[in-house]
A and B are shown apart, each in its own frame.
Chain A
Amino acid sequence: MAEPKRIPDGMQVFSMVSGQARIEDEADFVIIGSGAGGATAARVLTDAGHSVILVEEGPYVPVKERGYDVWTGFRSSWRDCGFQVAEGRLFLPIIQGMGVGGTTTMNGAICHRIKPELHAEWVRDHKLPENLSFEEFSRIYDRVDQELQIAPAPEEVLGRHNTLLRDGLEAIGFSHNPIRRNVVGCEGSSRCIQGCPTAAKQSMDQTYLPFSLRKGARLYAECRVSKIVRVNGRAGLVEAQFVSSPDRVKGPKATFRARRAVLLAASAIQTPLLLAASGIGKESGLVGQRFQCHPGISLLGEFEEPVRMWESVTQGYESTHLWTDRLKFETVSIPLDNAAARFDGYGKKLMENVERVGHLACWGVHVRSEAHGRVYRDFTGRTRIKYDMTDGDVIRLKRGLKLMAKMLFAAGAKSVSPGVHGLPKRMDHPDQMEALDQLDNSPNRYHGIASHMFGTAVMGADRKRSVVGFDGQVHEMPGLYVLDSSAFPTNLGVNPQNSIIAWSWLCSEKLA
């Protein structure tokens, strides 16, 4: 693949095939999920001349159908229309895409590599073999950098929102950098989460999926997989049904036969559910366990000068200065129709805050949390995510919030809205954030979100202590591979898109 081409709206996607009782199809590989993991596998395997079927639960949303408003994006491209939550002492919204291209279509286009220190930890604690060495990961990262045209966000689209964070980080002496992003010609319209309106984001629906389709792959969208079935002792059959999105109208059933293997890349939430539905997990007891994520909290700062968040890259600046302390700071330009939920007050007070949106900056801190949760289906068939931050996680978040307040004031903010239950609604000095230390460590004092899911079908050599091997193959079902972050032993502390791509690529290369 020399140069990924942008093919806006040029994909042939089979969706809600009507008038047929049942759809049947067959290929060398059946891939479940079309996000970073699934699309990469399709890219590698079709390039090697294999036939591929992709099955995606969500819809295909052409660029021209993406709106400027948040609800258009949520209802078309976010799982559960954006209402997915993890349940614990805090109801924590879990951000996840659902559509052709998966989360890559609605994320901030942030590209990170696994930190060498973390890789060394995986080698030490989880016995990662030579074929998953740091050099091997780097080989793929280098290639993906080229193919997805990953580069630091250029100065001209940073806008004041991102450069203010730079000022704040500089003032408190933290290292910082413009975020490396997979975009071409980004105009800085701050609409990543609604789906890029100009197809500048090199998400999978603009890159690896069109590439694979041109090579003959077939993509079935709005098609929900229910089970993976063994044929002659190996994963050989995928059972599914078309279900329209977002209105959930059921269509024909479908059966996809895999001559070589079934590749599962449905995310760290859906992958374990499908494994469990297919009778996998009895040996290790680890399917759906050890769920990890990156909980994050934002602070709003009000400036005298105009900030105009919407005239900047959604997430253009960051600091991983405290990565070893499990904290990462970044800008988050959220649209007004999302941000207003975070503003103080009701009625007149809220409307005054809405009026001032042009002077607000929104920065976030996310924590590489220690907590483990679990994912399962309850007796009604509903997906449940149980997750609770530990005291240590909350203490880290408090530290992150205090530091962020310092950065905001150092950058010139006249006030900060912490949005923490038990603190004043508005603060005009960073020292006021010290009051956080007087609060208990209950997570439900905060309004956070979580993104980046990991660990629910963990890799390892021992089938009693892991779900998949170091080649991604499920111990309990030969011919079935897990190619998403479910297999990762821990969370990364940075955005996982490129590490999912690298993991999927390394596994797919062996299959090719």
Chain B
Amino acid sequence: MKLFSFERRWILTVFDATFSGGVATLPWKASEMRTTQAFVTDVFRVGPPITMLGMRAAIWLVYLFTPLLAYALPVPLGMLSEERRSSALEKLSMSNIYALRELPTLFKMMGSMAYCASAEVQRAVGIERPDFRVPNWVEETERHG
């Protein structure tokens, strides 16, 4: 399954709101990382189609309606300040409606497999591996797009 470029941007915006901000040892922005960019392409290419369809619907919901659900603001997530994006997701994750509070969690789960997979992030928090290298799927995705 291939995403439209705006859907990719939306996902990366949600990843940024989840995984970036204010910590000196982890200065990287999720959307600018190689692993994150490759992951978005790869997961939609190889993931189970029905699950990925659900993810695709989820990104529309999260990007377009999180500010409305969290702050009663009828604007997309990208229109909020970076700090407010994070707190809007946090607020949504505390919803009493199970389906709603799982939405940001879903992207946190996906984002962690991308952002936290990078060797620089792992090194920054003290994890050293003798075989740190760019994962195969990153190179594969960059080769084939």
Residues on A lying within 8 angstroms of B by beta carbon are: 65, 67-72, 74-75, 80-81, 83, 89-91, 189, 197, 246-248, 308, 310, 336-341, 345-352, 354-355, 357-358, 382, 421, 444, 447
Contact = CB atoms under 8 A, between A and B. Distances in A.
B2 interface: no
Given A346-B18, A348-B21, A336 B48 contact: no
B122 interface: yes
Contacts of B93: 346
B25 interface: yes
B48 to A, nearest CB: 5
A348 B23 contact: yes
Interface residues of B, number: 54
B106 to A, nearest CB: 9
Given A346-B86, A347-B86, A68 B18 contact: no
Given A68-B129, A336-B125, 12 more contacts: A67-B135, A67-B136, A71-B43, A71-B137, A81-B43, A189-B129, A337-B113, A338-B113, A340-B115, A341-B112, A346-B18, A354-B23
Contact of A80 (B22, B48, B102, B113): B48
Contact of A72 (B94, B126, B129, B137): B137
A81 B89 CA distance: 25
Contact of B126 (A89, A308, A447): A308
A352 B86 CA distance: 13
A247 B46 contact: yes
Nearest to A310: B127
8 tightest Cβ-Cβ pairs between the two chains A and B: A347-B86, A340-B112, A348-B22, A341-B109, A69-B117, A246-B46, A337-B116, A351-B23
B132 interface: yes
Interface in B44-74: 45-48, 50-51
Interface of B: 17-23, 25-26, 35, 39, 42-43, 45-48, 50-51, 82-83, 85-87, 89-90, 93-94, 98, 101-102, 104-105, 108-109, 111-117, 121-122, 125-127, 129, 131-133, 135-137
Contacts of B46: 75, 81, 246-248
B135 A72 contact: yes
Nearest to B104: A346
A191 to B, nearest CB: 9
A69 B135 contact: yes
Contacts of B85: 347
A80 B54 CA distance: 14
Contacts of B105: 341, 447
